[in-house]
Structure formats: C-alpha cells, structure tokens
Copies of this chain bind each other. A is one copy, B any other.
Amino acid sequence: MHILVTNDDGVTAPGLLALAQEMRSLGKVTVFAPDKNWSASGHVKTMERPLRVKETILADGTPAFASDGAPSDCVALPLLGLIEEPIDLVVSGINPNANIGHDVTYSGTVTAAMEAVIAGVKGIAVSLDSPEGHRAPLDYSAAAVVAKRVAEKVIADGLPEGVVLNVNVPYLKESELKGYMITRQGLRVYRDALDVRMDPRGKPYYWIGGEAPTGVAENGTDFGALSQGYVSITPLQLDLTHRKAMDVLKEWNFR
C-alpha cells in the first residue's frame, strides 16, 4: 500500500505532519505538498509555467517533496510518474478548518483529492472543524486517527467509482467523538464583505473580508453532523450534472 499525502496549507503545516505520521501505520507514505499556502485556491492544473520540486524534511525528520505547484499539481506530478512507485491512495489534509457545503469547489484540500479520483486513484480529503478564532496550536491527533480509520476502510472495502471522500472532524478529543455519519453536502452561509481601504498614495484596494462562514446545521448534512459531535463523511462526485434541471431545460424552445 503506497499512500500519497498532500495538503493545501504547505509542506510545513502541522496538519500534514500529523496525517503523514498516522498514515505510516497503513503502508508506505510519500509526502508531496506545496511549498506555500494555497487555501481557497480551487482546482488548478498549472500549464503556463514549469514546476519545481525540492526534497525537504518534515519536522519529524522524515523526507518529503515540496513543489511550487498548487495542491492538485502536487497530486498530478507524482501520478504522472514523477514518483515511480504506483500510488494506491491519496489523502489530503489535515486542513485546519472545515470544508463543508460550497467550500468543496474552492478547497485546495478537496480538489487535491478530486485530482486523484480523476486520475483513477482513490482520494480522501480530511479537515478539522476547529473553533473560530482558535489561536493556540491546533490538536490534530483525533483527526489523524479518524483519517487512518477512514483510509483503512477505503483500503479494505474500496470506494464506488468516481467518489471523493470529504471527511470533516469535530474539534474534540478522540474519546469525545460521537461516531461517524455518512452525510450529504450541506449549505454553507458565507458572510464575505467588501473591505475597501486606501493605500498610502490614496488609491483604493479591496479585501474580501467579513466574518468566517457558518452553515445550516440540518440533519444529515456535513455541518449538521459536525455540530452534533460526529465525524462527517460526504461522498462527492465529479459529475455535476443537475439531472432534474435537464428536464426543465428540455422544455426550452430555441428555434
């Protein structure tokens, strides 16, 4: 079992280290991550510039690869052959914030796992629903154990074709977790606001500011599970076709 571990926060992120360490109990681990933070970077294929790859070491002294590409590039490069040994599973994370609802298309963590699935390799994204405004170093230990358990299941039972697993873990001790819930993607509520400022030369610049997003804690959704203390596992697909809307649009008459 050869597991590729990546993230969108960069190779020095503590969530990546916690994930890599836990995955090592399941097989050989290759860490291949961006050399900088790519949060909310979306699904990228870097084609207009070449990419560099450096060998580096994680804080525990183990080797890793760092690339100036996006998270999805850090999956594409190894799968295209930069890493010779075939990869059986890609696990991305642990993201320091939840990736729920509409976050999934923005999220570098999730789109890295999507990149794996597009290439025919199983992909899991793992995120920690840390409390808003949490300043101290986050404790990734429970989320790392959850990631291992989910990966074990995927290795043992497989996954339906084309499915990306989006795993979100409440910020609780492992013993406090209520259990695992298979969920649907819920509704994110973004509270972005435009923050206009003037530079020292009197010209405006714009921050996408506002409060952190919240969500609708509906039963059966990712956000609902987290708010009840459950690990949320949402199977995502890459076929975005809205089948019901097809029937509506077929009534349109263009000619």
Task: Give me the interface of A with B, judged by CB distance under 8 Å.
Answer: 37, 39-48, 50-53, 70, 72-73, 76-77, 80-82, 102, 104-106, 111, 114, 118, 149, 153, 157, 159-160, 162-163, 179-180, 182-185, 190, 192-194, 196-197, 204-208, 233-246, 248-250, 252, 254-255
Contact B205 A233 (CB under 8 A): no
A159 to B245, CA, bound (A): 8
Q: Are A254 and B180 in contact (CB under 8 A)?
A: yes
Q: Which residues of the partner chain B approach A39 to less than 8 Å between Cβ atoms?
A: 47-48
Residues of B within 8 A of A235 (CB): 241-242, 245-246, 248-249
How far, in whole Å, are A207 and B80 apart by their CA atoms in the complex?
11
State the main secondary structure of chain A at its contact with B: mixed
- List 4 A-B pairs, minimum CB-CB distance, nearest first: A42-B42, A235-B245, A42-B43, A237-B242
What separation, in Å, do the CA atoms of A105 and B71 have in the docked complex?
14
A82 partner residues in chain B, CB cutoff 8 A: 194, 196, 206
Distance of A43 Cα from B8 Cα, bound (Å): 14
Are B42 and A44 in touch, CB under 8 angstroms? Answer: yes
Question: Which residue of chain B is the closest to A196 with respect to CB atoms?
Answer: B82
Whether the pair A206, B242 counts as a contact (CB closer than 8 A) is no
Nearest chain B residue, comparing its CB with the CB of A234: B241
Partner of A43, one of B106, B245, B252: B106
One of B46, B102, B185, B240 near A185 (C-beta < 8 A): B240
- Known contacts: A51-B206, A157-B252. The answer to whether A184 contacts B239 by CB under 8 A is yes
Which of B44, B237, B252 interacts with A41 by CB under 8 Å? B44
**What are 28 pairs between A and B in contact, CB < 8 Å?**
A39-B47, A40-B45, A42-B70, A42-B72, A43-B43, A43-B105, A45-B106, A50-B207, A51-B207, A76-B192, A80-B193, A80-B194, A81-B194, A102-B118, A105-B105, A105-B238, A105-B240, A153-B254, A162-B242, A163-B245, A180-B254, A180-B255, A183-B246, A185-B241, A235-B242, A236-B240, A237-B241, A240-B240
